[in-house]
């Protein structure tokens, strides 16, 4: 597996204003092999970034020696693909279409997509569940046409968005598209929040898992405040890593550590060395 960390874990990463060249140097210095870039409507990398600028950045990435295989988008929180407002849904598809194209220009192999929000502690929307699932299906189907055209995997993430409470349901959602480009971006820490045992999810989802995020979570807190440093929470790391190995997962393992502090990269790097040793 490729030891990686999210751009959102950089100083000003969540604001999308941390210089990407600096981020590449910082993660390499901290002992990471890979960096996950993030795209938004404003900042260092946006849905308006030109092909020329993306290709120039790709050159810097290749020169850095840091692996950049994935692009994350948090735009679904502001532009919900399952919104009751049709204009918002259409805007979300437009933004994520642009993001997929930029992922391809950057040389990324996969893009994270939050398929919609039913109810969440970080969003105001409350959408009827069956309606949201149908709209999520429509959004994924639309974006898959783009993903297949540009050669980028569309990886649907399990996150605190009120969708896919069961690995069986999640697997069936992905399988209906019958596309090699449609896969899962599995987040070990998010599962700890309100689902079941992470290793069981990994075993059930199997090869549908194309990319993996890691974070840790304290179940006795149970809210967003429960997310914590790797190995400081309740994630069953040995079982989770062995489950990933058992399904043959060997791609990027991306730590998503938010918020930033001056020592978070070094702490996370050391913790990941131990976590990776369990595989």
From first to last of the 279 residues of the chain, give the pLDDT tens digit: 999 999 999 999 999 999 999 999 999 999 999 999 999 999 999 999 999 999 999 999 999 999 999 999 999 999 999 999 999 999 999 999 999 999 999 999 999 999 999 998 887 889 999 999 999 999 999 999 999 999 999 999 989 999 999 999 999 999 999 999 999 999 999 988 666 799 999 999 999 999 999 999 999 998 889 999 999 999 999 999 999 999 999 999 999 999 999 999 999 999 999 999 999
**CATH numbers and ranges of domains, the chain:** 2-277 (3.20.20.150)
Question: Looking at residue 193, what is its pLDDT?
Answer: 66
The span from the CA of 177 to the CA of 115, in Å, is 14
The span from the CA of 9 to the CA of 258, in Å, is 6
pTM: 0.96
The span from the CA of 105 to the CA of 98, in Å, is 11
């Amino acid at each position: 597996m490729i030891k990686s960390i999210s751009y959102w874990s950089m100083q000003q990463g969540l604001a999308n204003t941390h210089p990407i060249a600096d981020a590449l140097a910082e993660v390499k210095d901290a002992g990471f092999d890979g960096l996950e870039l993030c795209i938004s409507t404003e900042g260092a990398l946006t849905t308006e970034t030109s092909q020329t600028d993306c290709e120039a950045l790709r050159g810097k990435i290749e020169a850095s020696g840091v692996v950049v295989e994935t692009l994350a988008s948090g735009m679904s929180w502001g532009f919900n693909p399952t919104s009751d407002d049709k204009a918002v849904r259409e805007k979300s598809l437009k933004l994520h279409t642009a993001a997929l194209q930029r992922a391809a220009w950057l040389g990324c192999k996969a893009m994270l997509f939050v398929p919609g929000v039913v109810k969440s502690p970080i969003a105001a929307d409350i959408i009827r569940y069956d309606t949201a699932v149908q709209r999520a299906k429509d959004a994924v189907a639309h974006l898959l046409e783009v993903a297949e055209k540009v050669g980028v995997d569309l990886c649907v993430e399990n996150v605190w968005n009120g969708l896919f409470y069961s690995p069986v349901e999640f697997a069936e959602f992905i399988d209906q598209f019958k596309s090699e480009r449609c896969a899962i971006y599995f987040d070990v820490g998010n599962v700890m929040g309100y689902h079941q045992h992470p290793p069981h999810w990994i075993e059930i989802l199997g090869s549908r898992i194309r990319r993996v995020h890691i974070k840790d979570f304290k179940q006795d807190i149970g809210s967003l405040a429960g997310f914590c440093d790797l190995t400081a929470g309740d994630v069953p790391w040995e079982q989770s890593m062995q489950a990933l190995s058992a399904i043959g997962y060997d791609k990027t393992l991306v730590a998503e550590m938010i918020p930033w502090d001056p020592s978070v990269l070094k702490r996370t790097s050391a913790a990941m060395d131990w976590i990776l040793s369990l595989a």
